[in-house]
Chain A
Amino acid sequence: MNDYENAIEIKELTKRYDGFTLDKVSFSVPKGSIMGFIGQNGAGKTTTINALLNIVRKDEGEIRLLGLDHEKDQYEAKKQIAAVFDELPFDDRLNAIAIDKILREIYEEWNTDTFFGYLDRFALPRKKKFGKFSKGMKMKLQIAAALSHNARLLIMDEATTGLDPVVRNEILDIFLEYLQNEEHSILMSSHITSDLDKIADCVTFIDKGKVLISGYKDDILDSHGILKCTKDDYKDIDAEDIVSARLNDFGAEIMVSDKASCSRKYSGAVIDPATLEDIMIYYVNREKKEWR
């Protein structure tokens, strides 16, 4: 077994499409952690994940998965990786018994008992065709399949999008359980930041193909804050301290990226803690600087 510190290491990943460029994306997912990969639709999350999984060929950059090169050692890496997409990638005419027969011939470490154990736990029928499954059932089935071949890295692209809060919570619990094993890691792309607020250890925020923030979630949340002030006070805030500002009739709410320094600099100002959603919204509007 190869030794590695980071389950995923991406350096300077570049992929060019007509009208969109994934521009020198770099970040790492430490072994044993769950990384939330956030950004609005079209920011480049899926492109990054597709490049990781070698579904699209990168133009430049280096990607290592579980210490292995994602192209040269892709089959070795893929044995230990599970991918979960926003939609079930199995034909509607299949059922769970057929999927077990298919995947046990593909994955060396496929465990039928584990798979059916998850099905029982999720109360999923074995013989019912997937075409008759609800969206939540399909996602649970996909997760059951992903967790049944002893994968050490789970890569998920918008896996919880479109699910109701009850199912989402149930799935998030499964992920936390999966992470009890320190060898296991998760990269989870989502624009539902509340999920990541709950479970992520690290967060990478991508916008327009560029990584804006990447690091431990607590550090990011600690360093960012929303400074609330009147319109007059707003004029006195240094532009370099402002990520962007939401103006309203009474004053301004300003995202600052160095909360500690700002609280010293603007003593008396109220700086509220920021959530991941706040950070995402304010950073997306950073070019406008001021918005309503």
Chain B
Amino acid sequence: MKGLIYRELYLIRKTTVTTLLVYFVFVAMMSLVCISTYAGNLKGEEGVIEIFYPQAYFYAACIALVGMGYGHNDIIQKDYQSRWQLFSYTLPVSDKKIIASKFIVRGILLLAGLVLAILAEVIIAAAAKMPVSTDHIKNILIIGALMTVGFSEIPLMLRFKNQNKAAIITLLACAPILAAFVYFAWKFTKFCMAEATRLYGEATDVTMAKVFEPYFEKARNIGFIAAPFFVVGVVALFYVWALKEYRRRRY
């Protein structure tokens, strides 16, 4: 299995290097902005760091987590094109190990993404002269857990052989969930506005944030406890599905 893992990591090394470059440039830029709030042209500007710091780590985390997994997305399509997928059936390796190797690579990339995301938080916090936020780290870990949904790419690509087709099917399948999420967000915003007006007389960004914060805190705590179960469930489900697709032998 080591050989299979090495092969996939070798094939994604270019996109991984590109992601690392983008990530470091982005983190450096964010850090410079943070530094400039006390030692540069943003010095004296009120509220900049309060607005900027909570967003900077989030975007850096997204770049790290999405970027690290991105290179792996089309690997199965390329394996079909290069006929490695066909050749893999001739190897003295069990179907389970072949599929497991793909999940291990995906797991390694996710872990690397998490490490980079946490590192970004540490760097940006240091640049902003603020303590590392455990809330931010919790958010990163929850985002990381949600990223395991991306593991569905493995069974989907084995089934459809083509990234575009798999993406369209995923979008179609996710459309109701997305619609439900948008509807929930709209309803929740309306609720926050109403509550802010009722409690503080007017609905501004600050008063709405006051209403929003306790709910967000609760959701984060629930998410943090649920995340390990979610990860195990999602990975197990996609592993079984991928194994089934691989065993179908679409030739």
Could you say which residues of chain A place their CB within 8 Å of the CB of B165?
none
Per-residue CB contact flags for chain A residues 182-202 toward chain B (1 = under 8 Å, else 0) read 000000000000000000000
The docked-state distance in angstroms from the alpha carbon of A57 to that of B251 is 9
A103: chain B residues at CB < 8 Å are 3
A85 at the B interface (CB under 8 A):
yes
Contact A75 B79 (CB under 8 A): no
Q: In the complex, what distance in Å separates the CA atom of A240 from the CA atom of B94?
A: 51
Question: Shortest distance in angstroms between A187's beta carbon and chain B's nearest beta carbon?
Answer: 13
Q: Indicate whether B11 reaches chain A with its CB closer than 8 angstroms.
A: yes
A54 interface residue, CB < 8 Å from B? yes
Beyond A75-B92, A91-B78, whether A85 also contacts B6 by CB under 8 A is: no
Complex CA gap A88/B81 in Å reads 11
Q: Chain B residues with Cβ under 8 A from A76's Cβ?
A: 92
B82 near A: Cβ within 8 Å? yes
Minimum CB–CB distance from B92 to chain A (whole Å) comes to: 4
| CB contact between B90 and one of A56, A83, A88, A92 (< 8 Å): that residue | A83
Q: Is the CB of B4 within 8 A of A102?
A: yes
Q: Give the total of B residues in contact with A, Cβ under 8 Å.
A: 24
Residues of chain B within 8 A (CB-CB) of A91 are: 11, 78-79, 82, 84
> Hey, which chain A residues are within 8 Å of B10, CB to CB?
93-94, 98, 102
- Of the candidate stretches A33-41, A104-112, A218-226, A272-280, the one touching chain B is A104-112
Q: In the bound complex, do residue A94 and residue B90 qualify as a contact, i.e. CB atoms below 8 Å apart?
A: no
Instruction: Name the B residues within 8 Å of A87 (CB-CB).
Output: 83
Question: Per-position contact with B for A44-75: 1 when CB-CB < 8 Å, else 0?
Answer: 00000010011111000000000000000001
B residues with a Cβ closer than 8 A to A are 1-4, 6-7, 10-11, 14, 78-79, 82-84, 86-87, 89-94, 249, 251
A residues adjacent to B (C-beta < 8 A): 50, 53-57, 75-76, 78-79, 81, 83, 85, 87-94, 98, 101-108
